[in-house]
Structure 1
């Protein structure tokens, strides 16, 4: 497509206007702008490839964000393993797809009946549905976080004793 300035004598008296002419070629497309600059069809192809690769990268990041929990077998012979496997909160089983770990006393707190825990340097409020109310056989505060593309959520939380 070529855009050129009209140079009629009648146009000299009136405000200048733009006239567009379209030219199609089998292998290239040109756009000529007022300043003589050109956008070649190859640049448009590069822009399309860049857009496609950005969409692919975004979809891989979102798909990869839903990682499953792993069990490396370190605690397979622990006498508490069946008890840990049976733990459930209202949000679901604790050990199904989240790895639980012990939390040090400075990394969790209770205020007005609500809990919050510090994970990866940020404080996260524990939903009431995630709190396990049965006796804590492990003795230490335990948390089962689930990391998603939207951040960290708490699947299960078992408070220990604050000494």
Structure 2
């Protein structure tokens, strides 16, 4: 772990972003959240059971100050150690190592969040569209289902050539 990354339970930050699970998508996610064009860069706290998976980004200013809570994001204690009561947003990334049960863990995490603070802004990644109905019972504000997005973008790119470039521009922070 790098010197500026804390592995503790009290960071003294508020209005921060909590990322649940560190996956192969996390690197690009952090780059987008801390892109130079973003005016208000919020502190980021990552909750992961495997903190060794979070690379040591000491040389890159983008990652400076990322804090880590070692724990299960579906555990209320882990969420509280990450300061969920004072956070601005929670992003739940699907734990792809769990394969078919990744969405189940995401649902469990949303239930734990709802129990602590139901009015926080929650964005959840869902792998399988067949699991979307279960999220109707949670307070998730935004659900990103990659399965549906991919299919729909492919269809729209066929029907409207060039539309994928528009989406790429919309989804990328310019520098």
TM-score range, shorter chain: under 0.3
- In terms of fraction of residues, the more helix-rich structure is 2
TM-score of the two chains, using structure 2 as the length reference: 0.21
Q: Which has the higher contact order (CA 8 A, sep 6+)?
A: 2
Which has the higher Rg, Structure 1 or Structure 2?
A: 1
Greater fraction of residues in strand: 1
